[in-house]
Every structure is written in C-alpha cells, then in structure tokens.
Amino acid sequence: MKDERHVFFEDVREKAITARSSKKKPHRGGCRVPQYTAKEIREMSGPVHKIDLGKPIAYADFKAQPETLQKEYVKNILANYKVGMSAIADLLGVPVSTCTSRLHKLGFSFPRGFKPVREDLERFREDFGLTERVAPTKKKMTLENVQLCFTGILDAGQLAKQLRTFVPENQLCRISIAVEVVEPEPSATEPATVESA
C-alpha cells in the first residue's frame, strides 16, 4: 500500500511541476503568415474587371470584358426589362446585326417575331438615358443662287432644259440672264485686211 501511495504522489508531483513550468514559458501567436505589399498582391492577382450593371457601356468596353461579365450584363437587362436586340444594340451603340452576332456567341437568342413590351422599352430607355430612335429625315436643299456661263452657239431649248434641273417645280424664282454677243476673234492664220480710203 505504501508503494502504491508513493507512486501516486510522485506522479502527481511530476505533473504539477510540468504544469507550472509550461505556464512560465511565453506563448507564441500561432503560425506566422507572410506579409505581402499591395504591389505584390496586385502582381499575384489577375486583372480586375469592373462593369456597372445599371449604366450604359460602349461596345468596345463591353467586348473587352470577359464573357462571364458580358453575360451578366445582358442577363441583368433581360431580367429587368422585356426588350429585344434592337434596344440592346442602341444601348451599346452598334448596328443590330453586330449586336445580334455578339449575343448569339454569348448564348442569347430571341424567338422570331419577338416584340418588346412598350412600357419596359420606355422604362429601359429612360433608365439608361437613351433617346427614342427617330427615322432620319431627308434634308431639303434650298437653291439660293445659280450662275451659268457658257460660250458657243446659243441653243435656247438646251438652256431651258438645264434651268429646269436646278429649279424645282411650282416654286417661285427669279431668273436673270445677261447675254453678251461676242464677235469671233481673227485667227492667226488668216491675213489681216487693211482698208484704205
């Protein structure tokens, strides 16, 4: 019994010594992680792409983005507005054919005969600051002044025909014609005649 007691107390004493000695040792703060500078972090990271889903973007900038961001941009538009390719083409500032081919590459398609909802189209244009596309009107040219000059034998019919091409029908106009009859100059090969009295 004495030996068992002695072994037990000896074991307790050794454990107490070990516990006291571990408290006296300074504790380190775990595993050290390397500290990187901002420049090193930028070099280790890939390029950063940023796209604002609620603002218009130029087609060159849109095409420069990764395909995942391009898809997200178009998905966001289609989720919020029921518009077609022409509205997206207006937003990107490209012809519809260019926009269609790009969106087909990204996996977007619209059924034949797709018609956008008018309210959504108006809201889309208002939110992105687009003006409604107006068909270009033909500019009217107004003729203010014409001056013709010709030499040779006068053909009045030809002159009237030329004037008709310049002056629109049923429009008031003022035409001034100055005619100067010119005597033909003697050619160098003809002998000069001198009259004497």
Structure tokens at 167: 């002056």
Is 49 within 8 Å of 65 (Cβ atoms)? yes
Domain ranges of the chain: 59-128
Tens of pLDDT along 142-191?
A: 666 666 666 777 777 777 777 777 676 777 777 777 777 777 666 655 55
For residues 112 and 115, give the distance between their C-alpha atoms in angstroms, rounded to a whole number.
9
Indicate yes or no: pTM above 0.85.
Answer: no
For residues 85 and 114, give the distance between their C-alpha atoms in angstroms, rounded to a whole number.
10
Tens of pLDDT along 115-126?
A: 888 888 888 888
Is 44 within 8 Å of 36 (Cβ atoms)? yes
